Structure 1
Amino acid sequence: MQVFVRDNNVDQALRVLKKKMQREGVFRELKRRRFYEKPSEQTVREKGEAVRRIRKLARKKAIREGLLPAPKPKPKLDAQGKPLAPRGPRPA
């Protein structure tokens, strides 16, 4: 994994690195490897992860095909965590 530092902006490079590591699952892997996991527990966990993946793909496929309603979009929040005002035309 490689991140370039532009204009001596180390903070931004760190943010990019953390995001890349998050996407790759490095933090999840570190957390999982903190303690020993018995092989039987590992098998159960991996099967559960596979089931969740399959269900997620099936749900996405059903939404695409119109069998399930699409989820409502989450409201965008400002810095204080409050919903932003809608930007559309105001009703008269």
Structure 2
Amino acid sequence: MQVLVRDNNVDQALRVLKKKMQREGIFREMKQRKSFEKPSERKNREKAEAIRRARKAARKQAQRDGLIAAPKPKPRPDRKPKFGASPGPLAAPPAADTGTR
């Protein structure tokens, strides 16, 4: 695995390397190799992983086909709203004064 260091920015290169290692599953494999795993346990784990992958793929395909509803995106308060989007509940106009005090 190779990562280029640009402008002597080692911190950024290290982040890129960690992300690549995470995607490749190297951290998971290192954790598993810390202790011995019996062949029967390995078969059971790999079978469960395959079932999980198949279910996820079937769920995604059903969402694409419109058979089940896709999950709503989570609100991200740190992001600015897109141009033309409604400002949301925080920017609602103040309630009208009833005049009774």
Residue in 1 that maps onto 2:73 = 73
CA RMSD of aligned residues (A): 1.6
State the one-letter code of the partner of 1:50: A
Q: Structure 1 segments of 4 or more deviating over 2 A?
A: 83-86, 88-92
Higher gyration radius (CA):
2
State the one-letter code of the partner of 1:36: F
Report SS of the residue matched to 1:51.
Answer: helix
> Where do 5+ consecutive residues of structure 1 fail to align?
77-82
Distance 1:61 1:35, change over 3 A: same
TM-score scaled by structure 2? 0.79
Aligned length: 86
Residue in 2 that maps onto 1:60 = 60
Distance 1:84 1:8, change over 3 A: closer
> Where do 5+ consecutive residues of structure 2 fail to align?
94-101
Tell me the distance in 2 between the aligned counterparts of 1:59 and 1:10.
Answer: 40
The residue correspondences of 1:1-92 to structure 2 (distance < 5 A) are 1-76=1-76, 83-84=77-78, 87=81, 88-90=85-87
Residue in 1 that maps onto 2:97 = none
